[in-house]
Chains A and B, each alone.
Chain A
Amino acid sequence: AQSVTQLGSHVSVSEGALVLLRCNYSSSVPPYLFWYVQYPNQGLQLLLKYTSAATLVKGINGFEAEFKKSETSFHLTKPSAHMSDAAEYFCAVSESGGSGNTGKLIFGQGTTLQVKP
């Protein structure tokens, strides 16, 4: 069974500081991994995804994540936080392609990012 653990339900950083949101996964098959962002009262928007190509993945709004198989991690980073980055962030895992793949995403609990001026 697949699972995702996000370490820290709340992360607070100062504007301009490094953002690091942690995600660890468990999967018995090669995974696809995703980070989604949710702004207040909105749906989820894809930030970036890992699909077994390059292990360092760049996404929108200056975010990137690195897939580390040995650590089963997919942490999200951004060098310099902006006030507009304040939102809730979700890490998710799904099975990689193949027959019988239903494309279900398993989500972590979410991390709320606060950016202080």
Chain B
Amino acid sequence: NAGVTQTPKFRVLKTGQSMTLLCAQDMNHEYMYWYRQDPGMGLRLIHYSVGEGTTAKGEVPDGYNVSRLKKQNFLLGLESAAPSQTSVYFCASRFVRNTGELFFGEGSRLTVL
């Protein structure tokens, strides 16, 4: 049972470079989310999607873009990486009709030099 899979798990970028994080879930979940985790700040929502073809901004969306072209995939893009985007990124998903539980991937650690 794969659940929620994130790739890559580790990446080092230089300032100004671009990259895409891929999240794939095999549970047929409608909702998907991208969070970032920083020490002492918990997890903060970047963007989310309530269905294929839809996206919405979360708490800290600046500097990120997302796409949900397929129901099972949710991509997070950094067009021009900045050191402030050094973080651990988590993808999560859930069904529409449940009591709010999110299922998380194992995280992607990104370092921007």
Contact = CB atoms under 8 A, between A and B. Distances in A.
Interface of A: 4, 6, 9, 32, 34, 36, 41-46, 49, 51, 90, 94, 96-97, 102-110
Interface string B92-113: 1010100111101111000000
Interface residues of B, number: 26
B100 A103 contact: yes
Contact of B42 (A41, A45, A109): A109
B61 interface: no
A41 B99 CA distance: 27
B40 A109 contact: yes
Contacts, number: 67
Given A107-B43, A109-B42, A97 B99 contact: yes
Interface in B43-97: 43-45, 48, 50, 56, 58, 90, 92, 94, 96
Interface of B: 4, 31, 33, 35, 40-45, 48, 50, 56, 58, 90, 92, 94, 96, 99-102, 104-107
A105 B56 CA distance: 14
A26 to B, nearest CB: 15
A105 B102 contact: yes
A42 to B, nearest CB: 6
